[in-house]
Structure 1
């Protein structure tokens, strides 16, 4: 799915949702969420190309795979969180969106803890402690 297809699908869906909202708000919300899921699934088909490129970069750079795993997990958490937050906002649930956003931030922090630990160890070893 390319950006043109995604954009056209999104704009057409928004127009339909705006037309439906005064008479049937529930259907309008469901249509918006359904379109978002379709776009997300379409974009996720590109993940294999991303993984292949990252594997090539890892092989040529000598970067530890552990750091790349942390990076990819964090990116995944951010993307899923952003999708959920926007869906909650579109459905009119700002407080739920804020809670999901906070949970995503906490999960990224927890995921990156081993990286923080390694950085601290490196700094301490360079400082002579």
Structure 2
């Protein structure tokens, strides 16, 4: 029941942040940021397990490992950009959060170009000439 622990931590942090926010807004922001980092650190083990499983599946199939690495990087960029944008948004900087999200989306497109080109080449080869 790990989710209960995470939700409990989140609720406790939220209540404390709301109480502290009136007196010390900076401490409330630091508390919420620290809570987010703790939750992320909790998930690192789970993420590692998923990556190992995907690597094993890749080794036992005919999939090029470069594609798995690229997809994992894309997923990492998405999660890191979202996490960073949420922290910045919590600090009241909506414009900066939007720029972080835009940057993440552009980096994902850049990383996806090799995979998209392979898919297009495969479709072209399947088409009758």
Unaligned runs of 5+ in 2: none
Please report the RMSD computed on the Cα atoms of aligned residues, expressed in angstroms.
Answer: 1.6
Whether 1:56 and 2:75 are equivalent positions in the alignment is no
Matches within 5 A, 1:5-24: 5-24=5-24
Q: Which runs of 5+ in 1 are unaligned?
A: none
Equivalent pairs counted in the alignment come to 129
In 2, Cα distance between equivalents of 1:9 and 1:100: 26
Query: Shift in Å at residue 59 of structure 1?
Result: 2.7
Structure with the larger RCO, 1 or 2 (CA within 8 Å, 6+ apart): 1
Please give the TM-score of this superposition, normalised by the length of structure 1: 0.92
Which residue does 1:119 correspond to in 2?
119
What are the residue-to-residue correspondences of 1:34-49 with 2, within 5 Å?
34-49=34-49
- TM-score of the aligned structures, taking structure 2 as reference length: 0.92
Distance 2:91 2:56 in 1: 41
1:105 matched residue in structure 2: 105
CA distance in 2, matches of 1:2, 1:64: 35
Q: CA deviation at 1:64?
A: 1.7
